[in-house]
Amino acid sequence: MKIQLINPNTSAAMTASLADAARQVLHPGNQLLAVTNSAGPASIEGHYDEALSVPGLLQAIRDGERNGVQGHVIACFGDPGLLAAREIARHPVIGIAEAAMHLATWVATGFSIVTTLGRTKVIARHLVERYGFHQHCRGIHAVEIPVLALDDDPEGLLRSMRTACAGALERDESGAIVLGCAGMSHLATELTEELGVPVIDGVSAALKMVEMLGELKLSTSKRGDLDYPLAKPYAGFLQGFAWPALTPASSPL
Amino acid sequence: MKIQLINPNTSAAMTASLADAARQVLHPGNQLLAVTNSAGPASIEGHYDEALSVPGLLQAIRDGERNGVQGHVIACFGDPGLLAAREIARHPVIGIAEAAMHLATWVATGFSIVTTLGRTKVIARHLVERYGFHQHCRGIHAVEIPVLALDDDPEGLLRSMRTACAGALERDESGAIVLGCAGMSHLATELTEELGVPVIDGVSAALKMVEMLGELKLSTSKRGDLDYPLAKPYAGFLQGFAWPALTPASSPL
Amino acid sequence: MKIQLINPNTSAAMTASLADAARQVLHPGNQLLAVTNSAGPASIEGHYDEALSVPGLLQAIRDGERNGVQGHVIACFGDPGLLAAREIARHPVIGIAEAAMHLATWVATGFSIVTTLGRTKVIARHLVERYGFHQHCRGIHAVEIPVLALDDDPEGLLRSMRTACAGALERDESGAIVLGCAGMSHLATELTEELGVPVIDGVSAALKMVEMLGELKLSTSKRGDLDYPLAKPYAGFLQGFAWPALTPASSPL
Amino acid sequence: MKIQLINPNTSAAMTASLADAARQVLHPGNQLLAVTNSAGPASIEGHYDEALSVPGLLQAIRDGERNGVQGHVIACFGDPGLLAAREIARHPVIGIAEAAMHLATWVATGFSIVTTLGRTKVIARHLVERYGFHQHCRGIHAVEIPVLALDDDPEGLLRSMRTACAGALERDESGAIVLGCAGMSHLATELTEELGVPVIDGVSAALKMVEMLGELKLSTSKRGDLDYPLAKPYAGFLQGFAWPALTPASSPL
Amino acid sequence: MKIQLINPNTSAAMTASLADAARQVLHPGNQLLAVTNSAGPASIEGHYDEALSVPGLLQAIRDGERNGVQGHVIACFGDPGLLAAREIARHPVIGIAEAAMHLATWVATGFSIVTTLGRTKVIARHLVERYGFHQHCRGIHAVEIPVLALDDDPEGLLRSMRTACAGALERDESGAIVLGCAGMSHLATELTEELGVPVIDGVSAALKMVEMLGELKLSTSKRGDLDYPLAKPYAGFLQGFAWPALTPASSPL
Amino acid sequence: MKIQLINPNTSAAMTASLADAARQVLHPGNQLLAVTNSAGPASIEGHYDEALSVPGLLQAIRDGERNGVQGHVIACFGDPGLLAAREIARHPVIGIAEAAMHLATWVATGFSIVTTLGRTKVIARHLVERYGFHQHCRGIHAVEIPVLALDDDPEGLLRSMRTACAGALERDESGAIVLGCAGMSHLATELTEELGVPVIDGVSAALKMVEMLGELKLSTSKRGDLDYPLAKPYAGFLQGFAWPALTPASSPL
C-alpha cells in the first residue's frame, strides 16, 4: 500500500521531518510518499493561509491518485480542503486534526488541544464543532510560537509545550493532549512519557487510519455529496483544475 | 460608498444578471462594482468547486480593497472563503448564505432552504450549524437543477421553485424560504408574492448588510483571529498571494 | 419611511437620548418616531420588569402601525415582547439584542456582552441560546451599574465600561463587544475607537435592519406562528387589547 | 398547605373545570385556591395572547402570596411569566409545560406533545429548547381545535385526541404523550387507559411538584437572577405593579 | 404506598442513615423499605464500581416488585442501572441525580453540583448531557473526600462542603447547589440555611417524585424501549437474572 | 500483539462466527483471542440485558489483561461497560458502535444505522449523543429481527438488510451504513458491493483501531476519570470483583 503524506505548507524541511516520523509508524510493507505543497503559504496560520493551501493540496491528491497512491493524509491541523479532497479521491483521505481528535476520545473522556498561535484557535474550535467533539474537548491553548519557528529552539519548544500541556491538563481536567500542529509531531513520544498521559500526534494517527481503511477496503462514499465533482470548465490560472480533464501532473499550471 | 459584488463562479452572464438586480437595491448614492471570478469553476456545486473558487475570490477582495471598494459581497450560497476574505479586507465582507439565513430569522420563527442540487445540501447544512441556526432551519430541499441550467428554462424553473417552496413550507411548517443559490435571486419577488411569505434572496440581503455596516462605520475586528494575515512567502503558482506584498492586480500570476 | 423607536421603559430622558443618536444613523429621507413606554417599569432589570414592559410596548406597536409607521425597534436588550410584537405588526420589528448579536457575528468569530447588572445576565444568556449564538458568544459580563444610574456619572461609566470591555476581550478572546443595554448606546463610538474593536450598539444596528427590511420590501411572515392574533375578547384592565378591535390609540385604557 | 392554581386565561368555566380535577390530586390536608385571570385574553393561542396574560397572572401571584398561598401553578402550556412570577414569589411556582415535560422524561425515553392549534407549536418548541429536552421530545402535533372549543364537542375532542396521540406514538416512536393545553387535562386518565402509555397532564403534575417543594421546604433561590425585583416606580396603567409598593389586591387597577 | 430506597453500594450504615432521613420526608401513610445492595462495591467512585453495582440493584428492584413495592429510588448520584431498572419494574423508578437536577431547574436558572471525588465528575457531566441540563448546570466541583470517609469527620465535611458550595455559587453564578452524593443528604438542610440558597438532596427529591408518580397513577411506559425485557436464557453466575423466570428472591444466586 | 474480541452475550456460535471474520482483518503477526461472555444474557436487546452483560465482560477484560492481551474489543453495538473496562485495562478498549460511527464520519458526511429490534434504537440514539455524532447520524432503523434469529434465515436476513439499508440511504440522504449489531458483521462486504456505499462493520473497525493504538503505543489515559478503580471491598456474589485483589481467572465466583 502506497500512502501519501501531504504537507499543505511549502516547507520541504517540515515535510522531510514528518516523513521520517511517518516511516516509523507505517507497516513494513507500506510505502510512504511525502509531498510538499508546490504552491501556497510557507506556513498556515489563519484562514487566508489555509484557503490558499488548498489548490496545491488538491493537485497533490489528484497526482497521487494518478500515480497509484492508495490513501492520503492532510498534515495540517486545520484539515484544509478535506471534503474537497474526498470528492476527487477514490482512496481514503484523513486530516490530522480529525485523526487526533477522534483518537483522543478513545483514550480519555476529555482532551485539551495545544496549538501554535492564538489566532489559529478559532480554526480548531470550528473543527471541534464540525466533528462533534464539543463535549470532549475541554480547552484549546496556544504556546504563541509560529509554525516555522517551532524548530528554531528545540529545547525552548519542549519547555513551552511541557508547561502548556501540564497547565492544560490541570485547568481543563483533561486526560489527554492533542497536538495542534503537524510541526509538533516529534514531541508526542517524549511528552507522553513526561506527562504520563496520551499526547496525540495527528500525523501518526491519520497514517494509521488510512492504513486501516485500506485494509478494510473502505473508502469515501461516492453516493451523494462526496461523489466526484461534476464535469465543468475551469477558467484562468486554475483552468487546469477542470474536472475530470485535469491537466497532467507534470503540467506547469 | 463603493460596494463590490463578487460572483465566485466564472459566469459573466450570471454576474451581469446579479448586477442588474443589485443596482436596484443599493442606495442611490452607492456604486456597485460587479466582479466575475477570473479563475476557477464555471459553477459551484460541491466542495471541490467551492474550494477552488476561493483564490480568485480573494484576488477580487484584495483588488477591490486597493481600488477603493468599501464593502464586499460573496455571491455564492456556500459563502466560500468568507473568513479568509475577512482577514485581508479592511472593509466588511458578507456572504449570501449568511445574509439570507440571518434575515430569515428576523421575519419568521423557522425557515426552509431551497437550493439547486441535492449534493450541495450538505454545504448548506454545515453553514446552518456554523451560523447557529439549527433551531431555525426546518428543512433543506433541492430542485435538482444545475446552477448553470437555471436560466435555460425560466418558466420551468419558476414552476419547479414554486412547487418546491410550497412543499417545503407545508412539510417543514416554515414561515419563510431562503433561496439557496445566487442564480435564483431574480425569483425572490415573484415567489414572495405568489407564496405570500418572505422568499429571501441572499444577494440583496448581503448588499444591504454591507451598506449598513458602512453607514455604522463598523467592520471586521482586527483583534484576534480575523487580523490581517501574518507576513510570509508564498510559493509556486500562488506566490502572488504572499501577504502583504501581493502582486499588483494586473499581474498574470 | 417612518420608523418607530420604542423605549420599553418609561424614562423619557433615555428616549430623548436614544432619539438623538438614532437620528444620526437613519437615512436622510427617513423619519424617526421615538416613543416612551406609557406604562410599566422605570427601568428593566429582571424578568418581572421585562414582562411588565410588554403591554405598553404592544400598544406602541399597534399605535405606530395605525399611524403609518413602517418599522419598529424594541430598544431594550432583553428584546421584550418581540414575537408578540411581530404578530400584530404588518411591518418589521427588530429587537436590539437580536440586532447587536447578529451584527457581531458578521465582524468577529466571537463576541462578549457587557451589560448593566449581573442579575440581567441570565436574560442575555437565554437570548443567546434562542438566537443560536452559543458558539459565538464567549462571555457575558456586568458592570453592576443600574440602568437609570448610567447617566449619573458619565466619566465613571466610561471608565467602568472601558475596563469591563478590555477585560472581556482579554479573558474571552473575543473580537467584538456587544453593549448589553440601550442606555450604553452613546458609548459605542468612543469605545470602538479606544479599544480598537467593534463595540456594537444594538439600537443603531436595529434601526438599520428595519430600514433594510423596508427597502427590501420584506416583513414578518404571516404564514404560521407569527400570523395576526386570533380574534377574541380580552377582559379587565387589558380589555382594550382585544384583537382586532383594539381601543383607539388615545383611549385611557 | 394552600396552593394556588392560576388559569392565565379569563375563562371562569375552564378554571372551574381545572379546579375540580385539581382537588382530586392534592393531598387531603391541602387547600386549593383556583384563580381566573382578571385581565387579558379569553384564551392563549399565540405570543400576543401569552404576553398579555402575564400582568394579570403576576397580580394573582402577588395577591396569593399576600393571602397565605404557599405555592403556585401556572396553568397554561406556554408557561407564561414563569420567571417573572418566580421573582416576586417567596413560594414555589411551577408551569404546566415544565411539569409535564419533566415528568415525561421520568417514564419514557422519548415523548410527543399534542396541542391545540398548529400556531402554538412554536411556543412548545421554544420551551423544549429552554428546558433542555430536545433529545427527549420527538414530535409536536396539533389537533387544530381552538382552546375555547375544546369543550364544545367532548366526544369529537376525544376522538381527535385519540387519533392524534396514537399517530404521534407511532410516527415519533415515543413512549409517552404530553398534553399541550390545560384544557385537555380531563382527558389524561381516559387516554392513558386507552392508549396504554402515560398521557401526562401538566396541571396535575405541577400541583404535585408544588406540594413536593413545599414538603421539602424548598423554594425559588433568591440569590442572583430570581431575587425579588429591584424597587422602582412604575408608570401608567401599570403603576400598581411597582415593586415592592404594589397596590392592594383589591385595588381597581 | 410502599416505597423502596435502594442504596447501590453495600454500606449498611449509609443505608440506615439514608433511611432515617427518608422517613422524615415521606407522607405519613407511606412505608419505606430501605435496602442495601447485597452485591458489589462498598462505595461507587467510578465507572467500574458503578457498573458492578447494577446487578445487585436490579435484584433489589425485582424483589421489591415481588414484595409489593410501588416505587423505587436509586440512591447513588450516578443513577446506575436506571433504564434497566425501569424495564423490569411495573412501578416508577427515579434516580437521585435525575431528581436533584430536575428539581434544581424549578428553583433556579442555574445550578452547581458539588460531589465527592474529582474522578466522578465525568459521571455527573455525562448525566447532565443525558438529561438535557447543560444550559442549567454551570459547574461541577469536588471536595475530594471519598464516599465512605464522608462520615469520618462530620465537622470537617461540613466545613469543606460550606467552602465548596460557597465557592461554586460565586464562581458559577449559580442559584442552587445539587449535592453530588447520597452520603451528603444529611447536609442539605443545614447548608440551605447557611448559604441561603436551595441545597438539593436528590434522595429526598427522588422519594417525593416516586410518591407523586404513584399518586398520579403514572409509571414507566411499557410501549417501546422500556418495555419488559424479552424472554431469554441467562448463563453463568448471572443465570438467575433470566427474564421472566428470575430466581426467587431468596435464591443464593 | 494479542487482541481479545469479547462477545458480551453468551452465544458461543456467534463468537465463533465473529472470530472467523476477525482473523481475516487482523495483521498476520497478531493473535486473536475470541471470548464468549461466561455470564449474562444470551443476547442483548435492551438496557437490562446490556447492564447484565457487563460483569462477565469485565471479567474477560481482567482475565485478558492477566493473560497478556494487549487490546480489547467489546463486540456488542451498545458498547456495554466501555468506560468501566477502560478503567481496569492497561491496554486499549474499543467498542464496536464507537468504532463504526467514528469510521463512518471518515468516509461520508452522514450515515444511517440499521439495527435489529426497534427497542434497541434508543441505545444507539444515546450513543450517538454521547459520541457527538448527532450531526452525522441521519437516521436509525430496525429490521425487527432478534439478535439470535439473525442466522436462522441467511437469505431472508440479507433481503431484509438490503431493503432496509437502501431505504435508509434514500430517506436519510446518507452516504454510508453502520451495521447496528455484531451479528450482522458478515454482511458488510456483500452489502457494500451491492449498495455501492460503505457498509461498516464495527467489529472489524474496532479490531483495527486496537491494532492501531497498539502500534502507536497509546492507551487509555490513567490521569483522571479512567484511572484504575480505587481499592475497596466488594460484597456478595460479586465479591470477586474487588479491585485490585480480583479473584483468579479460574475462580468459580
Query: Omega before E55 cis (within 30°)?
Result: no
C-alpha angle F84/E142/E111, rounded to 5°? 105
pLDDT band at A246 (very low <50, low <70, confident <90, very high): low
pLDDT band at B245 (very low <50, low <70, confident <90, very high): low
Q: Do E110 and C129 touch (CB under 8 A)?
A: no
**SS3 category, C60:** helix
Indicate the number of domains in chain D.
Answer: 2
User: Would you state the pLDDT for residue B252?
Assistant: 38
Contact E143, E118 (CB under 8 A): no
Among the listed residues F120, F7, F133, the one whose alpha carbon sits nearest the alpha carbon of residue F73: F7
Segment C56-70 mean pLDDT: 97
Q: Do E110 and C121 touch (CB under 8 A)?
A: no
Within an 8 Å CB–CB cutoff, is residue C232 touching chain D? yes
In a domain, A29, yes or no: yes
Chains B and E touch (3+ CB pairs under 8 A): no
User: Would you state the pLDDT for residue F229?
Assistant: 96
User: Would you state the pLDDT for residue F195?
Assistant: 97
Among the listed residues E101, C51, C72, A125, the one whose alpha carbon sits nearest the alpha carbon of residue D62: C51
Which of A36, A52, A116, A221 is the mutation pick for testing B, counting most B CBs within 10 A?
A52
Segment A202-206 mean pLDDT: 98
Q: Show which subunits contact B, needing at least 3 CB pairs below 8 angstroms.
A: A, C, D, F
Segment C169-176 mean pLDDT: 98
D212 and D88, same structural domain?
A: yes
Residue numbers in F near D109 (CB within 8 A) = 122
| Radius of gyration, CA atoms only, chain C | 18
Within an 8 Å CB–CB cutoff, is residue E110 touching chain C? yes
Within an 8 Å CB–CB cutoff, is residue B193 touching chain C? no
Taking only residues 66 to 85 of chain D, the set having a beta carbon closer than 8 angstroms to any beta carbon of chain C reads 81, 83-84
Helices B96-107 and C96-107, packing angle to 10 deg: 170
In a domain, F249, yes or no: no
Place of cell 486473536: F32
A199 beta partners: A177
- Which tens digit of pLDDT belongs to each residue from F103-118? 999 999 999 999 999 9
User: Would you state the pLDDT for residue B150?
Assistant: 87
CATH number at residue C129: 3.40.50.12500
Q: Do F106 and A92 touch (CB under 8 A)?
A: yes
Within an 8 Å CB–CB cutoff, is residue D55 touching chain C? yes
How far is residue D130's CA from residue C128's CA, in Å, rounded to a whole number? 11
E101 and E90, same structural domain?
A: no
E137 beta partners: E111
In a domain, A128, yes or no: yes
pLDDT band at E252 (very low <50, low <70, confident <90, very high): very low
C-alpha angle C105/C110/C115, rounded to 5°? 90
- Which tens digit of pLDDT belongs to each residue from A37-90? 999 999 999 999 999 999 999 999 999 999 999 999 999 999 999 999 999 999
D212 and D87, same structural domain?
A: yes
Chains F and A touch (3+ CB pairs under 8 A): yes
User: Would you state the pLDDT for residue E249?
Assistant: 45
User: Would you state the pLDDT for residue F151?
Assistant: 86
Q: Do F169 and A223 touch (CB under 8 A)?
A: yes
Residue numbers in F near B118 (CB within 8 A) = 173
Q: Do D108 and E220 touch (CB under 8 A)?
A: yes
A74 beta partners: A6, A95
User: Would you state the pLDDT for residue E244?
Assistant: 81
pLDDT band at C153 (very low <50, low <70, confident <90, very high): very high
In a domain, A50, yes or no: yes
User: Would you state the pLDDT for residue F245?
Assistant: 57
Contact F218, A103 (CB under 8 A): yes
B101 and B191, same structural domain?
A: yes
CB count within 10 Å of CB A199 equals 26
Q: Do D209 and E106 touch (CB under 8 A)?
A: yes
Q: Name the residue type at position D119.
A: R
Residue numbers in C near D230 (CB within 8 A) = 45-46, 49, 146
Number of H helices, E strands in chain F: 8, 10
Residue numbers in B near D121 (CB within 8 A) = 173
Nearest to E107 among D136, D197, D221 (CB): D221
Within an 8 Å CB–CB cutoff, is residue E47 touching chain A? no
D227 and D130, same structural domain?
A: no
A33 and A16, same structural domain?
A: yes
Nearest chain A Cα distance for residue E143, angstroms = 15
Q: Do B221 and C197 touch (CB under 8 A)?
A: yes
Within an 8 Å CB–CB cutoff, is residue A173 touching chain F? yes
Nearest chain D Cα distance for residue C155, angstroms = 25
CB count within 10 Å of CB A194 equals 15
Within an 8 Å CB–CB cutoff, is residue C109 touching chain A? yes
Nearest chain C Cα distance for residue E171, angstroms = 13
pLDDT band at B61 (very low <50, low <70, confident <90, very high): very high
In a domain, A139, yes or no: yes
Three-state SS for D141-204 is EECCCCHHHCCCCHHHHHHHHHHHHHHHHHHHCCCEEEECCHHHHHHHHHHHHHHCCCEECHHH
State yes or no: pLDDT of C252 exceeds 60.
Answer: no
In a domain, C164, yes or no: yes
E59 and E137, same structural domain?
A: no
D192 and D105, same structural domain?
A: yes
- Which tens digit of pLDDT belongs to each residue from F24-66? 999 999 999 999 999 999 999 999 999 999 999 999 999 999 9
User: Would you state the pLDDT for residue D247?
Assistant: 46
D77 and D46, same structural domain?
A: yes
- Which tens digit of pLDDT belongs to each residue from A127-173? 999 999 999 999 999 999 998 898 899 999 999 999 999 999 999 99
Please give the order of strands across the beta sheet that includes B176-179.
B137-142, B111-115, B176-179, B199-200
Within an 8 Å CB–CB cutoff, is residue F46 touching chain E? yes
Among the listed residues F8, F38, F35, F33, the one whose alpha carbon sits nearest the alpha carbon of residue F23: F33
How far is residue E160's CA from residue E145's CA, in Å, rounded to a whole number? 9
Segment D36-40 mean pLDDT: 97
User: Would you state the pLDDT for residue B148?
Assistant: 87
Nearest chain C Cα distance for residue A76, angstroms = 21
Q: Do F234 and E119 touch (CB under 8 A)?
A: no
In a domain, F36, yes or no: yes
Size of interface A-B (CB pairs under 8 A): 180
Within an 8 Å CB–CB cutoff, is residue C132 touching chain E? no
D79 and D6, same structural domain?
A: yes
- Which tens digit of pLDDT belongs to each residue from F151-192? 899 999 999 999 999 999 999 999 999 999 999 999 999 999
Nearest chain D Cα distance for residue E236, angstroms = 31
Structural domain boundaries enclosing B84 = 2-95+205-241
E107 and E37, same structural domain?
A: no
State yes or no: pLDDT of C54 exceeds 80.
Answer: yes
In a domain, D249, yes or no: no
Segment C140-155 mean pLDDT: 92
C56 and C37, same structural domain?
A: yes
How far is residue C69's CA from residue C5's CA, in Å, rounded to a whole number? 10
